[in-house]
Structure formats: structure tokens, C-alpha cells
Amino acid sequence: MKTRINKNPQPASRDHNTRLTLCAKTVSFNSVKSKEGLTEASRLIAMLAELMRLKAVPRMGWLLRGVRDVESVAAHSFGVAFIAMLLADRAKARGMRVDIERVLRMALLHDLTEARTGDLPNTIKQYFESANLKAADERVAKEMLNNLGITGEAYLGLLRDYEHRASLEARLVKAADKLDLLLQASEYEKGGARNLQEFWESAEEDFARLELEDLIEDLVTVLKERRHHSAV
């Protein structure tokens, strides 16, 4: 069998790869350059590599109260995302208008900046003005999301919404954040941890601010009952 030779081969592009489909020609990510010369893929991987730190960043509040082998920020974020999904579905089943995709995105992003700042417990935050802390967090978020263009701006908007608790979605994520805290506290107490009572004492006030009593009150009640039975 003879092999046909193309006498007019097209020069291979060094800047990008393409493929033809029945409908369109698409260009791979490495053809999309940023102003700094980085490809879109490079910028995404750079950000993801930074986020990997959250898998190792410990939740400091537990450490300061004598708990060992504490959860990471990433583990906490997973818990918040799952609980937020369940709360959003619960809200929707009760006739509330909720954007579940927005809830999940916000839950995954809510502790993003701790990849740079670490988890700052309240014992540290009390020595700084709240406005200064918020401004610093905003600056970190902007820097981390700056290279993502329009997508980064959308993520920043979600973080701002979460900070202000203006929307139902933001309040659901904050409720999930608190529920995850109590569930984790309960697990540590089962393992013998002490000095965690303050988390339970502050929970009622925190939940009251969210105005979601009809949605989460029974869940908190069951959590407290389980804790009581475990202590007996």
C-alpha cells in the first residue's frame, strides 16, 4: 500500500493546538494569553496550586482549645458545602426561592482567603478593628482572583454577598458554616475534647441573626440532644 504524501503541509503552530469538529474549530486553552504572558491554563493551575494549601491549613480554634489532629480548612469547606446543599434543598422543598448553584459556589469560596492568611481565630481577631480585617480580607480576595478575569469578578461578588449576609443564599451558607462547627465540636467531644462549650453557647445567638429558625431550629435541637445523650 502506498502512502500519500501531502505536498503542501500546513506549518505546525507553536502557540496553540486546534481540532476540527463537525460544527466548529476549537482552540485549546494554551492559546489564550494574559497580559502578563501567562496562558489561561497556567493562571488556573497557579490558583489551584495555591488553594491546595487549604488542605494543610489547620482550623486554629480547635488547636487553641487543646484538640489535636484537627480538621483542615479544606475539610471544613467540604462540610459547609454539603450542609449548605441540604439546607438549600430543604428551603426549596418548603417553597422558598433559592438559587442552589449560587449557594454551592458561595460555600466553596467562603474561606478562600485563608490560603494566604491562615485561619484567624477570634482570640486573634479581637485585637484588630473589624473594618481593618474586612479590608484586608477584601484585598487578599482581589489579589487571588485578579487573574481569573470576569470569572474572578463573579467569585468576588459571591464573597461580598456572603460577608454581608444580604441574600437568602448567603444566610444559608452561614448557617451551614455554624452547623458544621457544631457537628465537628460534637465529634471532638466524643473523642474526649473539653473546653468546647463556648461554641454551643454562642450558636443560638449566631443562628438568630440569620432569621432561619423555621429551617434549622429542629436540626440544632437534634444536635443538642445527641450531644446530651453522648455525655450521659
Report yes or no on 107 lying in a domain: yes
Number of structural domains (the chain) is 1
pLDDT tens digit sequence for 123-134: 899 999 999 999
Q: What is the total residue count of the chain?
A: 232
Residue 7 lies in a domain: no
Is residue 36 a part of any domain in this protein? no
Rounded to 10°, the helix 168-190/73-93 angle is 120
| Residue with cell string 476540527 | 20
24 backbone φψ class: left, alpha, beta (φ>0; ψ -120 to 50): beta
Number of helical (H) and strand (E) elements in the chain, helices listed first: 11, 2
Q: Does residue 134 fall inside a structural domain?
A: yes
* Euclidean distance between CA atoms 159 and 161, whole angstroms: 5
For the cut 70, the answer to whether the pLDDT of residue 135 exceeds it is yes
Residue span of the structural domain in which 180 resides: 60-193+212-218
Residue 48 falls inside a structural domain: no
pLDDT tens across 9-21, in order? 444 444 444 343 3
Q: What is the pTM of this model?
A: 0.82
Residue 52 domain flag: no
Instruction: Give Cα separations from 224 to 42, 163, 185, 195, 210 (angstroms).
Output: 47, 27, 11, 16, 19
CATH number reported for the structural domain that contains residue 94 in this entry: 1.10.3210.10
| 122 is a domain residue | yes
Confidence of residue 22 (pLDDT cuts 50, 70, 90): very low
pLDDT the model gives residue 87? 98
The predicted-structure confidence for 192-207, as pLDDT tens digits, reads as follows 999 899 999 988 889 9
Q: Is residue 225 pLDDT above 50, yes or no?
A: yes
CA angle 139, 51, 186 (to 5 degrees): 100
For residue 49, tell me if it sits in a domain: no
